[in-house]
């Protein structure tokens, strides 16, 4: 990556509306919850804020509406030090997400309505082509249209930029996307959906990762929740344990914290396996706090726990 340092992330912003309760309600049932919060979210946006707080130099490409949620997005980027290459749109609402958080163990379930970010297209990527081509890292996911993700990965790959693809939310992925991925990083549920078999054991995780490599990805990293993560590339496979930083409060932003920390560590020249360890610590801190973007830890916190772990 020579002297390149910038991380460019394509993705969506969504205002997170999070509700705590013991369980999800059944159809036609109303439950009394134990908590509510409103804050910045969206996978790409969370990853951008996580990477910036972890020490990365980050540019975020997206769209938001010209409304209060859009104001929230821009304020979050200013606070985190993210360069916001974000189009504001009239007549279209900013994205929003419903998040259920289990009050006992922090597990979550999410519904996302992308709003303005659902209109992200190839033209948004082309408008940022120069920054993508000059970056150290390009990262994207699947909350925005897949055509934009593929276009961004293609531009980055041709320019020699390291690419990270987070195939989330899970959906059918075309075969031509795998060779564009220096790193493909699904969680265990997404990996199972992609490869067509469960990823409940270490053996199944290794088999799933190998399938991703056979389809063309250079390196597969499968995050496994509290079990840690699997790193697999040609000739090397390693499980990296999760890092406990305290009581788990909310796991909603764990994957995004992991990816943001991973991108920040890679961009500064750490070896990939060391970047996974850095990412594990980043996620380990994030789950001890409520919310997604607001839970992302600062660089000093990550370094302190990394030394002790």
Active site residue 67: no
Q: Is 45 annotated as a binding residue?
A: yes
- 3 assigned binding-site residue: no
Closest CA to 252 of 286, 285, 207, 277: 286
SS3 state at 279: helix
15 is in an annotated binding site: yes
Would you say 224 is a known binding-site residue? Answer: yes
Is 41 annotated as contributing to ligand binding?
no
Instruction: Say if residue 289 carries a ligand binding annotation.
Output: yes
16 marked as binding residue? yes
Q: Partners of 112 in the beta sheet?
A: 97
Question: H or E segment at 285?
Answer: helix 272-286
For 61-86, the DSSP string reads EEEEESSHHHHHHHHHHHHHT-EEEE
**132, 154 contact by CB (below 8 A):** no
Please answer whether residues 53 and 296 qualify as being in contact, where contact means their C-beta atoms are separated by less than 8 angstroms: yes
User: Which of 67, 71, 124, 256 is flagged as catalytic?
Assistant: 256
**Would you say 107 is a known binding-site residue?**
no
Nearest to 152 by CA among 85, 94, 208, 202: 85
228 has binding-site annotation = yes
Q: State the catalytic residues.
A: 256
Annotated binding site for K(+): 250, 252, 286, 289, 291
Annotated binding site for ATP: 187, 223-228, 255-256
């Amino acid at each position: 990556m020579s002297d390149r340092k910038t991380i460019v992330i394509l993705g969506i912003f969504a205002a997170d509306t999070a509700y705590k309760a013991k369980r999800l309600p059944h159809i036609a049932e109303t439950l009394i919850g134990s908590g509510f919060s409103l804050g910045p979210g969206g996978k790409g946006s969370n990853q951008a804020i996580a990477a910036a707080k972890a020490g990365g130099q980050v540019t975020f490409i997206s769209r938001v509406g010209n409304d209060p949620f859009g104001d929230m997005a821009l304020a979050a980027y200013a606070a985190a030090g993210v360069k916001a290459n974000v189009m504001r749109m009239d007549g279209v609402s900013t994205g929003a997400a419903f998040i259920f958080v289990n009050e006992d163990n922090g597990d979550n379930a999410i519904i996302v309505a992308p709003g303005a970010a659902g209109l992200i297209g190839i033209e948004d990527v082309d408008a940022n082509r120069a920054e993508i081509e000059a970056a150290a890292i390009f990262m994207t996911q699947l909350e925005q249209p897949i055509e934009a993700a593929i276009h961004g990965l293609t531009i980055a790959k041709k320019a020699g930029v390291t690419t990270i693809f987070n195939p989330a939310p899970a959906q059918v992925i075309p075969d031509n996307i795998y060779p564009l991925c220096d790193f493909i990083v699904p969680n265990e549920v997404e990996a199972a959906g992609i490869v067509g078999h469960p990823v409940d054991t270490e053996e199944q995780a290794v088999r799933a990762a190998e399938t991703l490599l056979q389809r063309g990805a250079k390196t597969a990293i499968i995050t496994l929740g509290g079990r840690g993560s699997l790193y697999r590339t040609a000739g090397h496979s390693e499980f990296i344990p999760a890092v406990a930083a305290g009581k788990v409060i909310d796991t909603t932003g764990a994957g995004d914290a992991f990816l943001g920390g991973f991108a920040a560590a890679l961009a500064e020249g750490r070896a990939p396996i060391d970047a996974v360890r850095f990412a594990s610590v980043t996620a380990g801190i994030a789950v001890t706090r409520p919310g997604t973007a607001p839970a992302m830890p600062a660089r000093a916190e990550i370094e302190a726990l990394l030394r002790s772990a």
